[in-house]
Amino acid sequence: MLSSSFIYLLDNECKIDLNDSSSHIRKKEFDTIFETGRWNTIGSRSGPGSSLEGAYDWLRHLRTLFEHYSIRSMADIPCGDTYWQFSLREINTIEELYFGGDISISVIKQNQKLYKSRHHNKIFQYWDLVNCPIPTYTYINSTHEINGNHFDLIIVRDALQHMHIRNGLKAVRNVIMSGAKFFALSTYPPNGKSSASNTRSIGKNETLPLIPTECVNKTYCAYGAIKDGDWYANNINCYPFNFPLNKAILVQRSHEKFGMEQDEMHIYKIDDELKKIVEQYDKACS
């Protein structure tokens, strides 16, 4: 835990736009999910995937990421009720700042109550990943004030599959254009099941295709036209997201140890190629 002489502040805020019906509907939906325990009533109310068993493989691979790269700050959007995150020492004692954002005010209020008074480098704030750019942050101590710091890592876990695909495109674009170095996310293989031949570990260079062959027959624009809060098996490599699979530094099953779902964990280094890809998202699924 940092001394109180160190202060971290977000440089931006995400205001609730009551005139934006889409944002208001999404906020209300995810507040209801959390408050009623729709996804889970025992343990994490953010759903079974946020239990320690559900996050087991994510924790394992994030530890490896921290071992191989300098990750001093991270934004976790949506953060949910943080049931699993701080069980990883590298996150709990992160060198600079952990920012947890969520569209559910109920989630944020609970996290602020739990952590705000005791953890000076953990910030929880309402954040709509669809409509609000990822913030930068300011570091202040007795002699320095340094603002405009970009987060090293952005996590978007178990989120895109619950967004209408056009909202998912906006969320991913905000991540890639944020100035962050790494992007970790949940995605589902297009054939519904992970293939051992299409995996990659951090620090290794297993051969991966440019895109999964099954992308050819997928129509995600129609498939992903869901009500926010519902579910579809999103995929980051097929159209319209178009991330080259062979650019991932990690491709692994999200629930290899405790089989729950068939989704995968991908991590990408953010570069100019990904930025050019997301610049085309305005034209997708129109």
| pLDDT reported for residue 41 | 56
CA–CA dist 237, 147 (Å, integer): 34
- The helix/strand/coil state of 124 is strand
CB of 126 closer than 8 Å to CB of 16: yes
| 37-91 confidence digits (pLDDT tens) | 666 655 666 666 778 888 999 999 999 999 999 999 999 999 999 989 999 999 9
Q: Encoding tokens for residue 168?
A: 């998912």
| 169-216 confidence digits (pLDDT tens) | 999 999 999 999 999 999 999 988 777 778 999 999 899 999 999 999
* Mean pLDDT score, 21-33: 79
pLDDT band at 145 (very low <50, low <70, confident <90, very high): very high
CA–CA dist 80, 162 (Å, integer): 13
CA 164 centroid distance within chain? 16
| 264-285 confidence digits (pLDDT tens) | 999 999 999 999 999 999 999 9
Query: Is it the case that residue 28 has pLDDT exceeding 90?
Result: no
In this structure, what are the phi and psi dihedrals at residue 227, rounded to the nearest 5 degrees? -75, 135
* Mean pLDDT score, 116-131: 90
In this structure, what are the phi and psi dihedrals at residue 242, rounded to the nearest 5 degrees? 65, 25
Query: Is it the case that residue 246 has pLDDT exceeding 60?
Result: yes
CB of 96 closer than 8 Å to CB of 72: yes
| pLDDT reported for residue 68 | 98
* DSSP conformation letters of 134-186: PP-EEEE-SS-EEEEEPPSEEEE-S-GGGS-HHHHHHHHHHHHTTT-SEEEEE
* Mean pLDDT score, 228-240: 95
- The helix/strand/coil state of 90 is helix
Query: Is it the case that residue 158 has pLDDT exceeding 60?
Result: yes
In the chain, the domains with their CATH numbers are: 7-283 (3.40.50.150)
| pLDDT reported for residue 138 | 98
Amino acid code (one letter) for 244: P
| pLDDT reported for residue 280 | 98
